[in-house]
Amino acid sequence: MIIDLPSTTTSQLNKKMVELRERGGAVALGRVLTLVIVADDDDKLEEAIDAANEASREHPSRVIVVAKGSRTAAARIDGQIRVGGDAGASEVIVLRLYGPLAAQGQSAVVPLLLPDAPIVTWWPGTGPKAPAKDPLGELAQRRITDSAAERNPIRALTTRSKSYVEGDTDLAWTRLTHWRAQLVSALDLPPYEKVQSATVTGEADSPSTELLAGWLAAYLKVPVKRVKTSSAQGIVSVSLERRSGTVELHRPDGRVGMLTQPGQPTRRIALQRRDTKDCLVEELRRLDPDEIYEASLGGLGKFAAGTAKATAPKSSATKKKPTTTTPAAAAAAAPAGKGKS
């Protein structure tokens, strides 16, 4: 059910929510958090609501969507309430702010927050340079951005790494979970040797590739090289050089990876690119600081980046030339509890 309330107020929206609850029990009270979505683009807005509805099946929540309308229009709030089949296991409130109110998102959101429930703010498109200093970010215990949705993903990631505050995270990091899990599992198999160098190959503007290289630099204490390629989207391969040979995880098509290592048969691994719904579900499972993500941000710039030409062949040729840059931290890459691919 979708109810439109044009030229409304937050007080009228709250009254309508109570009326719906009393009339038919359409809006339940068992919410574990409030998810604030900040999206100006209509396409991004609907995609984000769909992802939040899917995530609500695991994390029932109140979803408040803040969309900025024309700043030259008269000051008003157009509200919309979605419940039942149009809201998954959540309740969705869409606020379109016009005129001077477009810059007052925090004031519009505060009266609609659930009492005593944690708050998560998510920017599915272009986000602030310093999420914790944004008015809507200041409300939240957890702040989720997506560098891959920015015009310049690498610059956005680098900028946010400098303003990182506990509670910040990025869906470019969440997309690495399966890659990290497979690499850690490979290193847990014999022979138990120290990695001597690493090479990460991926698309030139892939923030996930940058974070994967930063993670390896932060936890392996070896030279790491970041190779740029135009042969595929996102991350293409990771090579870890050891005395007995190379451990390589190669995914040329964005769907199936091939894991090869000395003394082991080649294995095909499902390594499909993760969609936004999966990543959001994972991020909402924890509201505490992500120390591994913080360390990986610290690993950015501690690897040789931008030195290789952008045409990496599909074979392993480029990956077997690990060159150098900075060392980073401990030998067996960090537990894959919360990672991303």
Q: What is the mean pLDDT of residues 262-280?
A: 93
Q: How far is CA 207 from the centre of its chain?
A: 10
Distance CA 213, CA 154 (A): 13
Distance CA 259, CA 128 (A): 38
Token pair for 63 = 């979803």
Backbone angles phi, psi at 6, to 5 degrees: -70, 150
Closest Cα partner for 134 from 148, 147, 121? Answer: 121
Token pair for 62 = 């109140």
Domains contained in the chain, CATH given: 2-145 (3.40.50), 177-320 (3.30.360)
Q: What's residue 29's pLDDT?
A: 57
Q: What is the pLDDT of residues 27-46, one digit of tens each?
A: 445 688 999 999 877 778 99
Q: What is the mean pLDDT of residues 204-219?
A: 96
The type of residue at 119 is I
Closest Cα partner for 184 from 134, 220, 137, 131? Answer: 220
Distance CA 227, CA 224 (A): 10
Q: What percent of the chain stands above pLDDT 90?
A: 68
Q: For the chain, give the mean pLDDT.
A: 86
> Which of 124 and 85 is assigned the larger pLDDT?
124
Indicate if the alpha-carbon torsion angle 11, 137, 33, 170 is positive or negative: positive
Q: What's residue 138's pLDDT?
A: 96
Q: What is the mean pLDDT of residues 210-228?
A: 95
Q: What is the mean pLDDT of residues 142-150?
A: 96
* pLDDT above 50 (res 7): yes
Q: What's residue 280's pLDDT?
A: 96
Q: Are strands 235-242 and 197-203 parallel, antiparallel or unpaired?
A: antiparallel
- Dihedral (Cα; 45, 49, 52, 56), 10-degree rounding: 160
| Element containing residue 50 per DSSP (H, E) | helix 42-55
Q: What is the pLDDT of residues 178-197, one digit of tens each?
A: 999 999 999 988 888 999 99
Distance CA 340, CA 208 (A): 8
CB-hemisphere CA count at 13 Å for 279? 25
Q: What is the pLDDT of residues 298-312, one digit of tens each?
A: 999 899 865 444 344
Angle at which helices 207-220 and 291-299 cross, to 10°? 100
Distance CA 109, CA 192 (A): 53
Tokens 């107020």 label which residue?
9
Q: Which of 27-36, 48-57, 132-141, 263-272 has the highest mean pLDDT?
A: 132-141
The DSSP-derived string for 272-340 is PPPPHHHHHHHHTT--S--HHHHHHHHHTTSSEES-S-S---SSSTGGG--------S-SS----SS-B
* pLDDT above 50 (res 316): no
User: Are 27 and 56 a contacting pair, CB within 8 Å?
Assistant: no
Q: What's residue 88's pLDDT?
A: 75
Distance CA 332, CA 187 (A): 7
Closest Cα partner for 146 from 38, 247, 8? Answer: 38
